[in-house]
Structure 1
Amino acid sequence: MTDVVTPPTSPVSRERAKEIKRLSVISTARQVRVLSRAELTELTGLSPATLTPLVRELIAEGYLIERGPGTSRTGRPRAMLEFNPRAELVAAVSLEPSRLSCEIADSDGTVVAHRTVRLASDIVDTVCRSVPELAGDGLPALRGVAIAAPGVSSGGAVRLAPSVGLVEGLPIGESVQQRLGVPVVVDNDVNLMAAGEHACGAGSDVADLLLLHVADGIGAGLVLDGQVRRGSGGAAGEVGFLPLDPTDQGHDGIGPFEARWSENAIAERMVALAPGRRPDAPVAALVELAGADERAAAYLDEVLSAWSRLIVSCVCVVDPGRVLLSGAAAQLDDAAVNRLQRLVAAAVPSPTEVRRAVLGDRAVLHGAVSYALSAAAAGLPHLLPTP
């Protein structure tokens, strides 16, 4: 009879198994917030013998905080454990014309530190200097970085973003990850806004939505079945490039639709309608002027008609059910939003609700926090939500 020899367990496999259990404990504690060791055992399925050393390590690392006894209807109250959101920090970086905004947030999305710096020609160097300086003593807790950029992002490279000097693809993500040593996700800023509104904003109650963001350019962020859709080349949602007529050719980083109907275009028209200083909030200024000026009222009608055609074109392809107005488009008053809703409803093949986004600039942060935490746990996608 031949003895069956069991091969020794690989040390790598043991370490990987421990890490899976460790992340399971962290994920459970993050979701429940305050719980006893017995509840942690029940929720993770780990034995007390396995759980005890893991909990001890996580307390030492600051992930868990020991609290006093909780309330109990029967028996002796159990000592409680509380998840510490400051044990996991993420950096949200936004590339904007002439400047870089950086925020450090904990896993709850609470901002710990914020800084805006001048955007130098070497974007990677600016990011890699700003993030550690802003994180300070919390740098060891940094779990990931999410970079929001205008234009098209694919594989961590950004292109078609002339406002920040990126027309050809630049591998920002790979370069920053190599220098900072943490996972880095780079995505279009409007995609991050859509992810943020879906996580905790005007789209938190639906699985499908389209966010239309009007600023220097015009872009859309698409969430379907709870997931941000980027397309095969990362260009999904680049609606500003929709042609206005058959003669539209070439763009130099600016699409024909956004060249005519973006915030910049509206601001220029407002100067012509009401000579003077260029308005800081041109859409809001247009809405106000339209109440007293026939030319402004006619131009507002043109803007709403153009935006409605854009929304209808998107709805006919992806049927999001809800469209959120972001950026300058969110400056429309209730009457203008209602008019836009009626124009859309009259042309779409299925019911589509139009409403304002609610998070404003915070949408990018909430989306970036979700992205960065998911990037940090990319090896275990079932433990953290994928943006």
Structure 2
Amino acid sequence: MLGNPRLLRVLNERQLLDRLAAHGPAARADLAKATGLSKPTVSAVLAGLEEDGLVHLVGEVLGRPGPVSSLYDLNAAARHVAGIDIGRDWIRVAVADLRAAFVGRTDARNTARTSAELAACVAELTRQAAAEAGVEWSSIACAVVGAPGVYDPAAGLLSLAPNLPGPDLGERLAAALGVELVIENDINLAAVGEMAYGEGRGKVNFALVSVGTGVGMGIVINGELYVGARGAAGEVSYLPAAEAPEGDETLERGATETVAAAPGVVRAAQAAGLLLDSAREVFAAAAGGDPVALSVVDGEGRRIGGLLVAVAAVLDPEVIVLTGGVGHNLDLLGRSIQRRIAELGPLRPQVVASALGDSGVLLGAVAHAKARAWELIFELRGSR
């Protein structure tokens, strides 16, 4: 290390920027004390970072003996990132700074019929969000896209995503956006969002289970997202389900997803005689006290409870965070979930509802993009 001044400089820069990012403005003397670097080294490093726009002066420290001390802080607006959540019904886009603070957001219905249409729509929405925030497109360091399914970056193909058009979506998105691009499973990113901002904060091992238009799981082990050997860890929609019907839908979407996701709730309600067209309507009827809807919701809670016991048996997480259009109804589902868990043995996972709502994937995408942006910044600085 001592023989590589460039590497040493970058390590020192990263140490100071990490400190400013975590704790906010600081004087040079305070940075030296916190990092263990000498005051001359801190001054030299800050000068280089300030020249390149990564830190800036934000004020002065008053009331101390001796000369006035300047306060430095990370210039979070030096670069920006984009987080993109592609769902079956909605596309949500956020542009954020290097502290992951949103500076622009755009949501729109997903009406694309082809991968080309979808990529063009995503690019348009992302550029719109940047423009409305007053952010030049050249400032976007990278974009992270959350989408259903499993993305193979080597092949550039998206699989296990029946709700999205075309396996070539990744290639088309990269061409349409023209920036460094990362594609990740949407529920994995929801777990990243939960780890950064929600019920996963401070947890070393936890799982996020999403039940909505589909069923999926994000896994955090030892504080890191776990995706498995081929990116398919957490594809719990394919777990067997005793009551799943046979047929193409079960094979394509998975047995658990066929019966436990929103379409399964609607089928169960209609089979019970309720003329309702969405899971939202079923849960609204149950909240209003309709006995048939309550019975349907009870059955859904039992299915989810069985799934959570399987998760607990394999992962033994500190907590299971439940989310999704169906899963967020823990006030209605909780009793039947706990009853089913008790029936299936001694495992008692703690189950909580996500507080991030429909922004969980987007928050995770931005958090992931921020981390990747800093990697790119330091890679560039290390090559100079």
- TM superposition score category, shorter chain reference: 0.7 to 0.9
- In structure 2, the CA distance between the partners of 1:18 and 1:216, relative to structure 1 (3 Å rule), is same
Provide the residue aligned with 2:115 in structure 1: 121
SS state at 2:104 partner: strand
Is the 1:211–1:326 Cα contact (8 Å) retained in structure 2? yes
Provide the residue aligned with 1:29 in structure 2: 20
For the residues of structure 1 that align with 2:342 and 2:373, how far apart are their CA atoms?
A: 42
Provide the residue aligned with 1:148 in structure 2: 146
Q: Does 1:281 align with 2:276?
A: no
- In structure 2, the CA distance between the partners of 1:104 and 1:380, relative to structure 1 (3 Å rule), is closer
SS state at 1:109 partner: coil
**1:13-69 Cα distance to aligned partner (Å, 9 max, x none):** 554443333333222211121100112233344444443343234334443231332
For the residues of structure 2 that align with 1:348 and 1:30, how far apart are their CA atoms?
A: 46
2:307 maps to amino acid: L
SS state at 2:252 partner: coil
Provide the residue aligned with 1:205 in structure 2: 202
Alignment of 1:194-343 (within 5 A): 194-245=191-242, 251=250, 253-271=252-270, 273=272, 275-276=274-275, 278-279=277-278, 281-282=280-281, 284-288=283-287, 291-293=289-291, 295-334=292-331, 336-343=333-340
TM-score by length of 1: 0.82
Percentage identity across paired residues of the two chains: 24
For the residues of structure 1 that align with 2:342 and 2:146, how far apart are their CA atoms?
A: 32
Provide the residue aligned with 1:6 in structure 2: none
Is the 2:283–2:297 Cα contact (8 Å) retained in structure 1? no
SS state at 2:77 partner: helix
1:190 offset after TM fit, Å?
0.7
1:292 maps to amino acid: D
SS state at 1:85 partner: coil
- In structure 2, the CA distance between the partners of 1:86 and 1:121, relative to structure 1 (3 Å rule), is same
For the residues of structure 2 that align with 1:86 and 1:379, how far apart are their CA atoms?
A: 16
SS state at 1:164 partner: coil
1:161 offset after TM fit, Å?
0.7
Provide the residue aligned with 1:4 in structure 2: none
Provide the residue aligned with 1:108 in structure 2: 99
**1:141-200 Cα distance to aligned partner (Å, 9 max, x none):** 32321110011234364211111114x4x4727972896343x32111111111111211
Q: Does 1:355 align with 2:352?
A: yes
Is the 2:269–2:296 Cα contact (8 Å) retained in structure 1? no
For the residues of structure 1 that align with 2:71 and 2:102, how far apart are their CA atoms?
A: 26
For the residues of structure 1 that align with 2:172 and 2:38, how far apart are their CA atoms?
A: 40
Is the 2:302–2:339 Cα contact (8 Å) retained in structure 1? no
Is the 2:95–2:129 Cα contact (8 Å) retained in structure 1? yes
Structure 1 unaligned segments of length 5 or more: list them.
1-8, 382-387
1:138 offset after TM fit, Å?
3.5
Is the 1:267–1:278 Cα contact (8 Å) retained in structure 2? yes
SS state at 2:253 partner: coil
For the residues of structure 2 that align with 1:343 and 1:277, how far apart are their CA atoms?
A: 26
- 1:187 pairs, out of 184, 188, 197, with 184
- In structure 2, the CA distance between the partners of 1:328 and 1:131, relative to structure 1 (3 Å rule), is closer
- In structure 2, the CA distance between the partners of 1:180 and 1:51, relative to structure 1 (3 Å rule), is farther
Q: Does 1:41 align with 2:39?
A: no
- Taking only aligned residues, the RMSD between alpha carbons, in angstroms, comes to 3.1
SS state at 1:23 partner: helix
Q: Does 1:94 align with 2:93?
A: no
1:263 offset after TM fit, Å?
1.0
Is the 1:91–1:146 Cα contact (8 Å) retained in structure 2? yes
For the residues of structure 1 that align with 2:122 and 2:329, how far apart are their CA atoms?
A: 34
2:253 maps to amino acid: I
1:197 maps to amino acid: E
Structure 2 unaligned segments of length 5 or more: list them.
379-384
Is the 1:41–1:48 Cα contact (8 Å) retained in structure 2? yes
1:124 offset after TM fit, Å?
4.4
The range that moved more, 346-355 or 208-217, is: 346-355
- In structure 2, the CA distance between the partners of 1:280 and 1:248, relative to structure 1 (3 Å rule), is closer
Q: Does 1:369 align with 2:363?
A: no
Provide the residue aligned with 2:129 in structure 1: 134
Aligned length: 365
1:271 offset after TM fit, Å?
4.7
